[in-house]
């Protein structure tokens, strides 16, 4: 068995309970354990005499136990373990709270290491709750007397347990061969893999720890980019429909638009068209700022695919967005006789060309029309790739699928994205693949994470688009802001209110450090509908509602029946309601800059002047600096870069729900120099080291990490 795939349950002192606790922090194998890197270190590397320790107050001492015993504390009803320890320089009192077992584990006369900080109390100098370790001849200390690793853990899994298991695992994988070619290690001054693994967990000093981090960061970025390059090569060999450019019809479509295409829209559309003409599988990401007009670039591609006799599948992350795109695409292509269908968990529609309106049909009829090739474009949610709950639910089969479009790809789970490539197709050709995102991603991340994709970017905003006026609203400005909103709604405008929570809980209150803002949808609904805007029609929406309920609420808002809609970030992506010109974001300090930019992009879509109000009760300099960046930045790409520097990539990429967190455990997306170095190393290695290429090819189905 692969040493790294060995279950942690096979290690010493790992029973059912410990195994369960390890699983809670994502550890099931030796590989997982060795990749559970420390997030910081306690510096107890200096072993001091008791006399030195009393002066320096902090460190490690090697002492003899003279006396140790337990006693009960009446005042707090706890067990106190007291010890007197000594060395050649003096003696010291040691005290542990509620650790009665220590009196059994530590015996008078034993030599032990103690690490911690001396407390100068009314009882004199005491060492309280120190880490301890019994001295064994010829064995270096693991928990004291060194840079001591500190790990993320659970309440029932101690730091000592993790260190012991990591130490055991390091011994279990020896001897360890290094897969990285010597020439690459030499060129980039990288230490050996076995040394890196040892030194990241139990470093000799800060220098060796930094060397270990550099080697392991290099590993992750190198392997991610290597794997993506191999995927890219494989996809380029897959045969796909050859889509001939339909110049006349494309020109007719562009001329029918009520706006002029921007240069970025033209460039992105042409890059997609040229890919479709090659007859090999297109694998492209279209990245565009909020409101930059990605939809028309997609529709131009869809039109050309359909006019070449192939079908198109368009997958959106929510039913609301799928319905919106169904309406948008139907409207843009209304003069061309193309049959379009909608498939979500709650709706199945087609644009009935004869009746010139949308028509509800059964799911089976929709499937049959797709299978026969009668339906040329199908727009939907995950329902496109997941059969119904009934045992005999039919799977979706296309007659001649030519293009898959995935909106906000990173919002789908890893398995869902993999299932896209398995959409049944009768023509035996691989469909072209076009993914898109309205989340501006810094170029360093995009070129690494999506290095298996070609990249098209739309930054330029449509002409005559009014700039959204953005203001930070502190508690003293609230009343004034609400009065302004009332006036705008009287003019016929509508407003969104975004909250970070659905409902309040004790945990969320502590996490958000709330003062006077409720910041939850339920509380905000009560406050705004009953106290602030009792004369207005106020409603709310969030992700836990049923799809049908959400659709009805959005329909009421779209039609103007609702004046003000309170929501979570369920509205972050894609919602396009021109009459909504007011965006209120409660607890704005709890959102990333890129996410705030996304939310702000839900307004400013019509001809009216739009406003975004960032409500915050946190007036710290850090918060002010971060929110002010939203007021100053030219576009979402600049903000995304700032967010990357301030908060890391999680807020930009919605990493937790996408599986991206599995890619990097120690490397950082902001390390652009290392990203460029690993990219260059990958290009050299693919050509020069066929053994390494074959090794990684074999492991593409899983993910190469250490071997």
Instruction: Summarize pLDDT for 114-127 with one digit per residue, the tens.
Output: 999 998 877 788 99
Which range scores top for mean pLDDT: 187-191, 432-436, 680-684?
187-191
Q: What pLDDT score was predicted for residue 512?
A: 43
pLDDT of residue 536: 94
Biggest CA pair distance of the chain: 100
Count CB neighbours of 397 within 10 A.
Answer: 15
Does residue 225 share a domain with residue 90? no
Does residue 151 lie in a domain region?
A: no
CATH number at residue 82: 2.40.50.140
* Cis, bond preceding 436 (omega within 30 deg of 0): no
**575 and 482 within one domain:** yes
In a domain, 15, yes or no: no
The rounded Cα 629 to chain-centroid distance in angstroms is: 22
Cβ neighbourhood burial of 419 (10 Å; 0-12, 13-18, 19+): middle
Q: Give 95-154 pLDDT, tens digit per residue.
A: 999 999 999 999 999 999 999 999 887 778 899 999 999 999 888 899 999 999 999 999
Query: Looking at the domain assignment, is residue 353 inside a domain?
Result: yes
Structural domains counted in the chain: 4
Residue 186's contacts (CB-CB under 8 Å, 6 or more residues apart) are none
Confidence of residue 1 (pLDDT cuts 50, 70, 90): very low
The tens digit of pLDDT for each residue in 258-275 reads: 889 999 999 999 999 999
- The answer to whether position 646 is within a domain reads no
Please state which of the ranges 56-70, 319-333, 461-475, 640-654 shows the lowest mean pLDDT: 640-654
Strand partners, 342: 349, 379
Q: Give the Cα separation of 408 and 411 in Å (integer).
A: 6
Residues 323 and 418 in one domain: yes
Say whether both 394 and 353 belong to one domain.
Answer: yes
Q: Provide the pairing of β-strand 469-473 with 340-343.
A: unpaired
Note whether residue 655 is domain-resident.
no
Q: Report how far residue 129's alpha carbon sits from residue 223's, in angstroms, rounded to the nearest whole number.
A: 43
Helix then strand count (H, E) for the chain reads: 25, 26
Is residue 355 scored above 80 in pLDDT?
Answer: no
Give a yes or no: residue 652 inside a domain. Answer: no
> In this prediction, what percent of the chain has a pLDDT beyond 70?
88
Asked if residue 682 and residue 624 are part of one domain, the reply reads no
**DSSP string for residues in 106-166:** S-TT-EEEEEEEEEEETTEEEEES-EEEE--TT---SSSSSEEEE----TTS-HHHHHHHH
The alpha carbon of residue 432 and the mean position of all alpha carbons in its chain are separated, in whole angstroms, by: 26
In a shared domain, residues 97 and 128: yes
**Pair (233, 295) in one structural domain:** no
Least confident of 248-252, 438-442, 512-516, 626-630: 512-516
Q: How far apart are CA 414 and CA 227, in angstroms?
A: 16
Is pLDDT at 375 greater than 90 in this prediction?
yes
65 within some domain: yes
If asked whether residues 494 and 609 sit together in one domain, one would say yes
Sheet holding 357-360, edge to edge: 357-360, 348-352, 340-343, 377-380, 311-315, 401-407, 432-437, 283-288, 454-458
Look at residue 263 in the predicted model and tell me its pLDDT. Answer: 94
More confident residue, 337 or 557: 557
Q: Which domain covers residue 215, as residue numbers?
A: 177-237+676-707
Which among 381, 438, 373 has a CA at the least distance from the CA of 402? Answer: 373
C-alpha distances in Å from residue 156, one per residue of 33, 95, 129, 234: 17, 22, 18, 46
Bridge partners of 436, per DSSP, are 286, 407
Task: Give pLDDT tens digits for 559-603.
Answer: 999 999 999 876 656 677 889 999 999 999 888 887 888 889 889
pLDDT in tens, 648-678: 555 444 433 334 445 678 987 777 789 889 9
* pLDDT at 636 > cutoff 60: yes
pLDDT higher than 50, residue 279 = yes
**What's the pLDDT at 229?**
86
The yes-or-no verdict on residue 616 having pLDDT over 50 is yes
Nearest Cα to Cα of residue 126 among 52, 57, 69? 57
Judge whether 437 lies within some domain. yes
Q: Are 652 and 441 in contact (CB under 8 A)?
A: yes
The pLDDT value recorded for residue 669 is 72
Q: Where are the alpha helices (DSSP H) in 603-698?
A: 621-632, 636-647, 650-653, 672-688, 690-698
What's the CATH number where 489 sits?
3.40.50.300
Of 389 and 307, the structure prediction assigns the larger pLDDT to 307
CB contact at 8 A, 92 and 151: no
Give the other-Cβ count within 10 Å of 684's Cβ.
13
Burial of 448 (0-12, 13-18, 19+ CB in 10 A): buried
Residue 504 is given by DSSP the state -
- Element holding 283 (H helix, E strand): strand 283-288
Q: Which residues contact 701 (CB under 8 A, 6 or more apart)?
A: none
Q: What are phi and psi of 81, to 5 degrees?
A: -105, 115
Same domain, 345 and 418: yes
Query: Quick one: how far is CA 25 from the chain centroid?
Result: 17
Domain boundary residue, one of 389, 424, 458:
458
Residue 388 has pLDDT above 60, yes or no: no
The pLDDT mean for the chain works out to 85
Asked if 387 and 503 sit in the same domain, the reply is: no
Residue 119 has what pLDDT?
Answer: 86
pLDDT band at 646 (very low <50, low <70, confident <90, very high): low
Burial 136-163 (b: 16+ CB within 10 A, else e): eeeeebbbbbbbbbebebeeebebebbb
Instruction: Lowest mean pLDDT of 191-205, 485-499, 648-662, name the range.
Output: 648-662
pLDDT category at 346 given cuts 50, 70, 90 is: confident
pLDDT at position 169 is 93
DSSP β-bridge partners for residue 117 = 58
Do 312 and 442 fall within a single domain? yes
Mean pLDDT over 248-260 rounds to 92
Query: Per residue in 301-327, pLDDT tens?
Result: 999 999 999 999 999 988 888 988 998
Q: How confident is the model at residue 77 (pLDDT cuts 50, 70, 90)?
A: confident
Looking at 104, 122, 145, the residue that finishes a domain is: 145
Residues 277 and 397 both lie in one domain: yes
Of the residues 433, 458, 483, the one at which a domain ends: 458
């Amino acid at each position: 068995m692969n040493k790294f795939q060995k279950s942690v349950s096979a290690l010493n002192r790992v029973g059912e309970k410990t195994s369960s606790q390890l699983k809670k922090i994502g550890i099931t194998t030796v590989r997982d354990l060795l990749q559970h890197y420390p997030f910081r270190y306690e510096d107890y590397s200096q072993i001091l005499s008791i006399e030195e320790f009393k002066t320096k107050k902090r460190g490690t001492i090697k002492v003899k136990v003279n006396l140790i015993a337990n006693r009960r504390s009446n005042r707090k009803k706890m067990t106190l373990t007291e010890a007197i320890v000594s060395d050649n320089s003096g003696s010291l009192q040691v005290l542990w709270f509620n650790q009665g077992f220590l009196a059994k584990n530590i015996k008078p006369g034993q030599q032990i290491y103690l690490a911690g900080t001396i407390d100068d109390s009314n009882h004199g100098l005491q060492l309280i709750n120190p880490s301890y370790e019994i001295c064994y001849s010829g064995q270096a200390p693991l928990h004291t007397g060194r840079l001591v690793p500190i790990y993320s853990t659970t309440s029932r899994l101690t730091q000592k347990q993790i260190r012991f298991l990591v130490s055991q695992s390091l011994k279990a994988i020896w001897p360890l061969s290094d897969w990285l070619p010597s020439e690459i290690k030499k060129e980039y001054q990288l230490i050996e893999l076995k040394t890196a693994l040892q030194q990241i967990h139990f470093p000799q000093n800060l220098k060796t720890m930094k060397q270990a981090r550099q080697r392991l960061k290099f590993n992750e970025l190198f392997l991610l980019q290597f794997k993506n390059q191999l995927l890219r090569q494989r996809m380029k060999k897959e045969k796909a429909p050859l889509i001939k450019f339909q110049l006349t019809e494309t020109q007719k479509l562009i001329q029918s638009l009520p706006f002029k295409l921007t240069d970025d829209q033209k460039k992105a559309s042409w890059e997609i068209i040229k890919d479709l003409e090659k007859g090999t599988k297109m694998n492209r990401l279209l990245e565009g700022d909020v409101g930059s007009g990605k939809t028309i670039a997609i529709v131009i591609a869809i039109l050309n695919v359909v006019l070449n006799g192939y079908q198109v599948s368009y997958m959106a992350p929510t039913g609301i967005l799928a319905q919106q795109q169904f309406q948008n695409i139907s409207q843009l292509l209304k003069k061309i006789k193309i049959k379009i269908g909608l498939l979500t968990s709650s709706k199945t529609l087609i644009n009935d060309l004869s009746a010139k309106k949308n028509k509800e049909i059964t799911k089976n009829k929709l499937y049959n029309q797709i299978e026969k090739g009668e339906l040329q474009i199908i727009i939907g949610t995950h329902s496109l790739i997941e059969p119904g709950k009934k045992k005999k639910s039919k799977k979706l089969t296309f007659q001649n699928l030519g293009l898959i479009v995935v909106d906000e790809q990173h919002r789908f789970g890893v398995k869902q994205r993999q299932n896209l490539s398995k959409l049944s197709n009768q023509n035996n050709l691989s469909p072209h693949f076009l993914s898109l995102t309205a989340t501006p991603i810094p170029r360093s991340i995009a070129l690494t994470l999506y290095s298996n994709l070609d990249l098209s970017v739309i930054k330029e905003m449509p002409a005559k688009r009014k700039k959204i006026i953005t203001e930070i609203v502190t508690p003293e400005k609230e009343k004034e802001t609400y009065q302004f909103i009332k006036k705008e709604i009287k003019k016929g405008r509508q407003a969104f209110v975004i909250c970070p929570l659905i409902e309040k809980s004790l945990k969320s209150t502590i996490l958000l450090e709330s003062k006077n803002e409720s910041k939850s949808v339920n509380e905000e609904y009560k406050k705004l509908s009953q106290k602030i805007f009792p004369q207005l029609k106020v409603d709310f929406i969030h992700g836990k509602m049923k799809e049908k309920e959400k659709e009805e609420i959005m329909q009421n808002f779209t039609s103007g029946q609702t004046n003000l809609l309170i929501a979570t970030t369920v509205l972050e992506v894609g919602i396009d309601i021109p009459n909504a010109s007011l965006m209120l974001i409660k607890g704005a300090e709890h959102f990333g800059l890129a996410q705030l930019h996304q939310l702000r992009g839900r307004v400013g879509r019509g001809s009216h002047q739009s406003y975004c109000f960032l409500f915050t009760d946190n007036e710290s300099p850090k918060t002010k600096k971060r929110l002010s960046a939203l007021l100053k930045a030219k576009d979402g790409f600049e903000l995304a870069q700032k967010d990357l520097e301030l908060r890391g990539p999680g807020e930009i990429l919605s990493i937790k729900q996408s599986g991206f967190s599995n890619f990097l455990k120690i490397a950082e997306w902001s390390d652009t120099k290392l990203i460029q170095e690993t990219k260059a190393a990958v290009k050299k290695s693919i050509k020069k080291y066929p053994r390494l290429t074959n090794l990684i090819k074999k492991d593409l189905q899983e993910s190469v990490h250490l071997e």
